[in-house]
Structure 1
Amino acid sequence: MKWADEIIIVDGNSTDNTLAIARKYTDKIITSDFAGFGEERNKGAEFAKGDWILQLDADEIVTDAMRNRLNSLLDGNDAGCASFKFRRKNIFLGKIMTYGGWYHYSHHLYKKGFAHYEGDIHEKLIVNGLTGTMEESLEHYPFYSLAEFIERQNRYTGLQAMEQFKSNPKITEKEILYNLRVKPLKLFWKMYFKKKGYKEGPHGFIFSILFAWVHFVKWAKYWEIVRDNGKTL
């Protein structure tokens, strides 16, 4: 990222070696208690001085093709857009996933003052203006082992379940059973068959099973929170 005009890092009071690594690249580091992914991204944007902001996670890498496209954007070739969606190549256990529904667009490039994030977990960019699309991509390395995936999803599903409880503290037995029994099976079918995850070999099968499992775990934790708060049988 040395080609960027400025690098701003937002750290949620991490306890590992994150800050030491970050200081090798920039002195613009914001530290505070973690307040949700949307709020973290908004904090970083407040300190940006440039016209365009590209939000990246620590496990994402900008490709040469995308860097060239960004330079063109900075030269004024923005087609009147206030934000852009771009491709994100997700690497699952060492393999770029072209099938299975995981080769999608990411929405984290925008003009300062024209957009902000909402949401604690699956944050969404709210844009005041036109949104364009670019086919250039960045590479995403979310985890390197199944153990790392399970550990991370255990944390995320807990946060998601609590966020869901705050917005909807009541649940019916019909709704919970549908999301525990039926929806995971439908998700597997969609990712493995409809989105052709089977073309990725063992990677595609494992990927489809795991993401159906994530939905199951999130709803099981949601049900547990609702039950513990006396909102259901």
Structure 2
Amino acid sequence: MLAVVILTRNESAFIEACIESVRWADRIVVFDSFSEDDTVARARACGAEVLQHPFENYAAQRNAALEQVEADWIFFVDADERATPELGEEVREAIRDPRYVGWWVPRRNYLFGRLTRGGGWWPDYQLRVLRRGYARYERPVHEIVILQGEAGYLRNPLIHHNYDSPAEFRAKQRAYAWLEAQALRQAGVRPKPYTPWTMMVREFWRRFVRLRGYIDGLHGLRLAWWMARATWETYRLLQDAARVDTG
């Protein structure tokens, strides 16, 4: 059995279209972290199952879904993502292959409504199709999968309508920066006084040059700069935490 699991919190604007895009799954489960809008009501009206679990962090939420949703395979899809029929057909065929316990899915990102090709935004592979019992998530933000076995690669992409505006993008990156700083602190990372600046330059170079953000023109330049600023913010917050730790 293949279950699509959609993690939600206040996703009423997206949830119906997301559910409609994954009708080919055996089960559709909305795994909600107690939304305050009508996400749950809309999901149930669309025929999806709803489970609720308090949000601690992204990795913990996905692990809870892996534990609670009974299926042979779990395909995690975010509420602002859409799965094409071609992707659905490919997934159903792929999970029959006994060699693999996971599948990487390419993701086509639209930022502020614009298809973004460079800067690491394409193909943006995500390990989302998982054989239950063989996978676990670690890291509270930008979580990674620890897989007990091999993973293959799919061809057809998830469509990701990622951020409506630059303001939303910057706000989300600030939130990620705080979570990332906490993860680095727990891992024992101690930054030097210059670390925020060197890491900012490194991230800009990686995004704009190495990952060819320049092919998206001014759009790519802005994204590379904003991601570099988010990296600076992460290490600045880490410095603040280190000062607290040392008294």
TM-score by length of 1: 0.88
Question: Against the structure 1 CA distance between its residues 21 and 151, is the aligned structure 2 distance closer, same or farther, given a 3 Å change threshold?
Answer: farther
1:163 and 1:132, CA in 2 relative to 1: closer, same or farther beyond 3 A? same
SS in 1 for 2:69: coil
Q: For 2:68 and 2:27, how far apart are their aligned partners in 1?
A: 10
Residue 13 of structure 2 corresponds to which residue in structure 1? Answer: none
Shift of residue 79, structure 1, vs aligned partner: 5.0
**Does residue 36 of the first structure (1) align with residue 57 of the second (2)?**
yes
Q: For the residues of structure 2 that align with 1:2 and 1:143, how far apart are their CA atoms?
A: 24
Give 4+ residue runs of structure 1 displaced > 4 Å after superposition. Answer: none
C-alpha separation in 1, matches of 2:245 and 2:66: 40
- Segments of structure 1 that go 5 or more residues without pairing to the other structure are none
1:72 paired with 2:85, answer no
- What does the per-residue CA deviation read over 1:174-200, in whole Å, with 9 as the maximum and x for residues that have no partner? x3412x112211221222122221111
Q: Identity percentage over the alignment?
A: 26
What is the distance in 2 between the residues matched to 1:15 and 1:213? Answer: 31
Scaled by the length of structure 2, the TM-score of the pair is 0.84
- Of residues 40-49 and 140-149 in structure 1, the stretch that sits farther from structure 2 once superposed is 40-49
Please point out which of 124, 127, 149 is paired with 1:107: 127
Q: Which residue of structure 2 lines up, in the alignment, with residue 137 of structure 1?
A: 157
1:25 is aligned to 2:31: no
1:26 deviates by 4.2
| Alignment correspondent of 2:194 | 177
Q: How does 1:77-226 map to 2 (within 5 A)?
A: 78-103=97-122, 104-168=124-188, 171-172=190-191, 175-178=192-195, 180-226=196-242
Unaligned stretches of 5+ residues in structure 2: 1-21
> Given residue 164 of structure 2, which amino acid in structure 1 is its aligned partner?
Y
Q: What letter matches 2:56 in structure 1?
A: A
Q: Does residue 231 of the first structure (1) align with residue 243 of the second (2)? A: no
Count of residue pairs the alignment pairs up: 225
**Shift of residue 230, structure 1, vs aligned partner:** 4.3
State whether residues 101 and 149 of structure 2, in contact with CA within 8 Å, keep that contact through their aligned partners in structure 1. Answer: yes
Do the aligned partners of 1:100 and 1:204 also contact (CA within 8 Å) in 2?
yes
- C-alpha distance in 2, partners of 1:135/1:231? 49
1:9–1:44 CA contact under 8 A, matched in 2: no
Aligned partners of 1:7 and 1:25 also within 8 Å: no
**Using the alignment, how far apart are the partners of 1:37 and 1:176 within structure 2?**
30
- Corresponding letter in the other structure for 1:171: R
Verify the 8 A CA contact 2:190 2:238 in the aligned structure 1: no
Deviation at 1:80, TM superposition (A): 1.6
Q: What is the aligned partner in structure 1 of residue 77 from structure 2?
A: 56
1:14 correspondence with 2:35? yes
